[in-house]
Amino acid sequence: MGRQDSRAPLYILFAANLLNIALDFLFILGLGLGAKGAAAATVLADIFAFLLGLYLLSRVHVDIWSYIRKEIGQKKLLPWIDSSPWINLLKINTELFIRTCLLLLTLNFFTAQGAAQGDNVLAANAILIQLLMMTSYALDGFAHATEALVGESIAKRSTTLFRNTVRSAGLWALGSAVLITLVLVSGKPLILSLFTDIKPVIHQAEQVYWWLCALPLLAVWSYQLDGVFIGAGKSRDMRNTMFIASVLVFFPAWWFTRDWGNTGIWFSLFLWIGARSLGLIVYFQYYTVTNSWIRKLQ
């Protein structure tokens, strides 16, 4: 992704999932191994993906081992001993780890509260969350592209490239969010029937379906700005925004809307995503007004 080579990750994911499916058929249906067969298929597919990734990496024409031997031969060991890059890497990773933990905590709590209301609500929410995840996957493509291009613009100290990247990727992402919303709204009867024919589950899904329809236009900003902030290395702001959205918005909103049933859970999720988007927009505006995206490198 950092090299702007999106084909390699596509090849890796496609090959891993195709192999996983084939091994599922072999181990589960062919050999009757059940859950153990599914687990073995996943592990083997992941190992294959890792090996394929190493092979694709070897084609980048960067002989890292020759470089290391050259550095050792010339006794230029300082870059390898210098701890500052490693500390910075661990700092960014820690902040992103905390952000991801908060995200998973919120989504798992959302699922648990749906389960507490019965099997039909749990099943309905599972369907809608899958649709929400499909939406995020579609919009995350622009965010991934933004990460690489924003990183390049900052490395080159190019304000023009940064602005063009944010503007063009944002417009494409917004257009995609509008299209997804239209599909969700117009295709409601067909979409739900693709997942289940159990009427009580469909009925529960229909009760909160319109919250799902509204989320792409709200969530697109958090997805897109995630790409900007990751590319710029501003993971602390992402962590802070997620903390505010989860701890200060989602959980209080759920507490005060417990009597609303499943609608209260979705309303809380709506506010959570909205708080994430708003928080990142505020940070983005601050760095833009103060010209802080590129300034530190000048």
Closest CA to 208 of 183, 188, 186, 178: 188
pLDDT tens profile 52-109: 998 888 777 666 566 656 655 655 555 555 667 778 888 889 999 999 999 999 999 9
CA 38 to CA 25: how far, in whole Å? Answer: 9
When the pLDDT of each residue in the chain is averaged and rounded to a whole number, the result is 89
Phi/psi of residue 97, nearest 5 degrees = -65, -45
In this predicted structure, which of 20-29, 32-41, 70-79, 120-129 has the lowest mean pLDDT?
70-79
Q: pTM for this one?
A: 0.82
Indicate the DSSP class of residue 26: I
In terms of C-beta distances under 8 Å and separation of at least 24 residues, what long-range contacts does 176-181 make, across chains too?
A: 176/138, 176/139, 176/142, 176/220, 177/135, 177/139, 177/216, 177/217, 177/219, 177/220, 178/216, 178/217, 180/135, 180/138, 180/139, 180/216, 181/213, 181/214, 181/216, 181/217
pLDDT tens profile 181-206: 999 999 988 999 999 999 999 999 99
